[in-house]
């Protein structure tokens, strides 16, 4: 019940109460201790709408006879709504005033809003600091001037500019191994330029991001010989350039449990040029649902090299050579296994144009891939030859083998607007990758195709403690010759669906395009409703969906069945992403048994 809010109306006042309420008051549950803060929040909101003289006491309470309900009785005095008659900028010349006017967030006839006034002053202050006025400040005078008419006020911004500084000499200290030019190229400001504090902070961040330094500090001091200049001193403390990693872990994605170990070494500062050489090897032992060893070993060995500013070009060059052998897909229950062995060498360049946008171009990738499809016999199968591990491949079904060379090139990009790279709760992340394979790029003579992959993740905070995570992905591949099929090395990996990375509730990559497809595409959408439970522990419920389209030479497009999965799980936040335990179930006639998955990281 509200009296005295005729300026905005009772309905608007009630809506404002629930919008600005704290705790359980938002849900209409009485919490007397929260009423004071709610009233303060409402006064702040009304002040931003121009009601500067609001009187809003804590409401009186009138309990119902059954003690199950209560009326809140508000006696409000809003006062008149004050509008801006004009904005005066004082202490500067006419030219400077014209430069500052576009920064104003308050203009004539707008409601007087103290919060917007403070934001305006921040924008003006940032503008001055970018122009070299590091000592700019605002005079301590009345900023909102009231006249005889309480519905009108003058907003006055009085500026004391102070001196303008330019960059003098730049010196670098503390680098024992890192070459001076490596540090200099990360400094975003040069001698003679305006002394820009924002660029200096940017330079500190860029130097820290190289990973070469544990501490970076940039100090500016006035040149005693020329007081219009500030000399810059960059002080760095170097980290140890070499590091190693050794670990043992496990991942479970039904129907496989994998025990994995890895060893890696890297040196980050070859020749003091911020170039990195690395080597890493991983070995995995896959087990079936009965914890019997599957008769193959998964492994990878990778040599990498990273070189920023090759030949003084402002890009980053990457080169990588690898050998690996993995199971890339299974049938329900794991009875049919797709294995892939690859030898790969790749060179690519990257250019980061902003904190959000990175362009990638794969100069060339050569891949020698062997893909096998085999039938596994269970340990209790009478046709299974003697095997100490309990499992064996069925000799009655010789493996289907494809051996192919794929030489390719292609562009890509990343857009990253997430608030955290490993445990995001707000923003979005987008990637687009292209691949063109052709015999002229050293592919096998019967290989020629192009492929596009797009992945998009969105993170939307909801009412505490809930949040929404959404994923939309799609892929498309087409043969350059309508009679030549796309290699299985792509059909069974990049262009398949199923498992933790696409449709939970099904075996990994169980859904494939048609054999001998010359064109194929898919879409995959996923959604999770997440909530915090306790400290770093959270829970989620989710639903996934996806569908594959493909065609063979001379045939029409075949639309595959749409597959859906639902489930729930736990997430525990770690520095490298959430540790995930999911229970999921496919929906529809092709559903399998309930799937249990354990991994690190989600979309």
Domain 166-238 has CATH 3.10.20.310: yes
For 310, 442, 490, the CA distances from 481, given in Å and listed in that order, are 37, 16, 16
Topology at the third CATH level for domain 242-600: Porin (2.40.160)
Task: State the pTM of this model.
Answer: 0.79
Give CATH 2.40.160.50 domain extents, the chain.
242-600
Domain over 83-160 is classified CATH 3.10.20.310? yes
Considering the chain, tell me which residue range(s) the CATH 3.10.20.310 domain(s) occupy.
83-160, 166-238
- Cβ proximity of 97 and 107 under 8 Å: no
pLDDT score recorded for residue 390: 63
What is the reported pLDDT for 56? 93
Length of the chain as a residue count: 603
How is the chain split among helix, strand and coil, in percent rounded to 5? 15, 50, 35
How far is residue 451's CA from residue 495's CA, in Å, rounded to a whole number?
9
Q: What is the pLDDT, as a whole number, of residue 572?
A: 94
Per DSSP, the residues of 134-175 read TT-EE-SS-SEEE-S-TTEEEEEEEEE-----EEEEEEEES-
pLDDT value for 597: 87
Distance CA 16, CA 38 (A): 10
Instruction: Write down the pLDDT at residue 319.
Output: 98
Average pLDDT along the chain, 603 residues, taken 10 residues at a time: 89 93 91 94 91 92 91 92 92 92 92 91 93 91 83 92 95 95 94 94 93 94 93 95 91 87 95 96 89 88 96 95 93 84 98 94 97 83 64 80 97 96 94 97 96 97 93 97 93 93 92 94 97 94 97 94 96 91 91 86 74
């Amino acid at each position: 019940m509200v009296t005295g809010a005729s300026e905005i109306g009772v309905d608007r006042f009630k809506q404002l109460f629930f919008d600005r309420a704290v705790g359980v008051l938002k849900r209409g549950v009485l919490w007397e201790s929260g009423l004071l803060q709610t009233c303060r929040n409402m006064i702040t909101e009304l002040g931003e709408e121009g009601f500067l003289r609001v009187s809003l006491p804590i409401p009186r309470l009138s309990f119902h006879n059954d003690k199950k309900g209560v009326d809140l009785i508000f006696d409000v005095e809003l006062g008149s709504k004050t509008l801006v008659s004009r904005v005066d900028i004082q202490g500067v010349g006419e030219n400077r005033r014209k430069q500052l006017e576009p920064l104003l967030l308050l203009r004539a006839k707008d409601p007087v809003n103290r919060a917007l006034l403070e934001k305006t002053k921040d924008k003006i202050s940032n503008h001055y600091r970018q122009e070299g006025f590091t000592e700019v400040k605002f005079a301590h005078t009345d900023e909102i001037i009231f006249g005889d008419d309480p519905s009108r006020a003058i907003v006055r911004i009085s500026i004391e500019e102070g001196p303008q500084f330019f960059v003098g000499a730049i010196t670098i200290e503390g680098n024992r191994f890192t070459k001076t030019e490596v540090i200099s190229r990360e400094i975003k400001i040069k001698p003679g330029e305006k002394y820009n504090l924002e660029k200096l902070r940017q330079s500190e961040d860029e130097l820290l991001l190289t990973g070469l330094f544990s501490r970076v500090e940039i100090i500016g001091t006035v040149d005693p010989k020329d007081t219009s200049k500030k000399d810059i001193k960059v002080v760095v403390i170097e980290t140890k350039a070499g590091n190693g990693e050794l670990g043992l872990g496990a991942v479970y994605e039904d129907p496989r449990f994998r025990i994995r170990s890895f060893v890696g070494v890297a040196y980050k500062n070859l020749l003091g040029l911020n170039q990195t050489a690395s080597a890493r090897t991983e070995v995995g032992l896959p087990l079936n649902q009965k914890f019997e060893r599957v008769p193959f070993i998964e492994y990878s060995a990778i040599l990498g090299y990273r070189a920023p500013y090759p030949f003084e070009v402002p890009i980053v060059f990457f080169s990588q050579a690898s050998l690996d052998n993995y199971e890339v897909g299974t049938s329900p229950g794991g009875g049919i296994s797709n294995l892939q062995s690859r030898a790969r060498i790749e060179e690519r360049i990257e250019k980061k144009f902003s904190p959000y946008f990175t362009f990638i171009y794969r100069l060339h990738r050569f891949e020698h891939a062997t893909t096998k499809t085999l039938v596994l016999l269970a340990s209790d199968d009478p046709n299974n030859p003697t095997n100490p591990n309990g499992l064996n491949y069925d000799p009655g079904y010789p493996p289907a083998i494809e051996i192919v060379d794929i030489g390719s090139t292609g562009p890509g990009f990343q857009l990253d607007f997430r608030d955290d790279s490993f445990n995001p709760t707000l923003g979005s992340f987008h990637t687009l990758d292209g691949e063109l394979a052709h015999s002229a790029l050293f592919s096998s003579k019967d290989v020629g195709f192009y492929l596009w992959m797009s992945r998009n993740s969105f993170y939307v905070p909801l009412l505490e403690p809930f949040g929404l995570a959404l994923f939309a992905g799609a892929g498309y591949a087409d043969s350059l010759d309508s009679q030549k099929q796309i290699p299985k090395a792509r059909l069974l990996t990049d262009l398949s669906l199923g498992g933790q990375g696409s449709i939970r509730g099904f075996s990994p990559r169980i859904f494939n395009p048609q054999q001998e497809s010359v064109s194929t595409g898919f879409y995959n959408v996923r959604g999770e409703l997440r909530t915090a439970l306790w400290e770093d522990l959270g829970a989620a419920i989710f639903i996934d969906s996806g569908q594959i389209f493909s065609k063979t030479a001379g045939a029409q497009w075949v639309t595959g069945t749409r597959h859906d999965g639902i489930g729930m799980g736990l997430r525990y936040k770690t520095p490298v992403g959430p540790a995930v335990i999911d229970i999921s179930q496919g929906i529809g006639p092709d559903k399998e048994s309930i799937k249990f998955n354990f991994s690190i990281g989600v979309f």
